[in-house]
Amino acid sequence: MTTEEKVFLTLIGPESVMQSLEKNVAIEGVSIGKPQPLDAMVDAVDTSLGPDEIKMFMEFATAVLSLTGATLEFILALQHGLSAAEGANDPRIIIVDARTNTQIVSITSDTDPQWAKQVIETSWKK
């Protein structure tokens, strides 16, 4: 399968969830790279005159789905991974088109997997 035929996704979620995905997801036709911190600490330090909010510690990982791969199984695995969230309020995994950085869908434990499958598969046909 060529690079053009593969679907590259970026998964963004809480650290504990992303680490668990890397370790536990083993689905044929799906590869998940090593999670990395989303942010670096190169920003200037702000002042008390309007401080920025404290952001949740997030990680991202690159995932590759082959077109014939198990999208549904992949979504179910993500939902299973969300159970590993430690302390996160309303934990979710945001799925982004890795090439364009456009958000495709946000997965929570309540997301309908069939609907999410359809959204993801529609996105790669665009």
Residues that bind other proteins (CB under 8 A): 3, 6, 8, 10, 15, 31, 33-34, 36-54, 56-57, 60, 62-64, 87, 89, 96, 98-102
Structure tokens at 46: 């702000």
CB of 49 to other proteins, least distance (A): 5
CA 119, 123, 111 angle in degrees (round to 5)? 20
DSSP state, residue 97: E
CB of 79 to other proteins, least distance (A): 22
Nearest CB to other proteins, comparing residues 8 and 124: 8
Burial class (CB in 10 A: 0-12, 13-18, 19+), 20: buried
Nearest CB to other proteins, comparing residues 70 and 113: 70
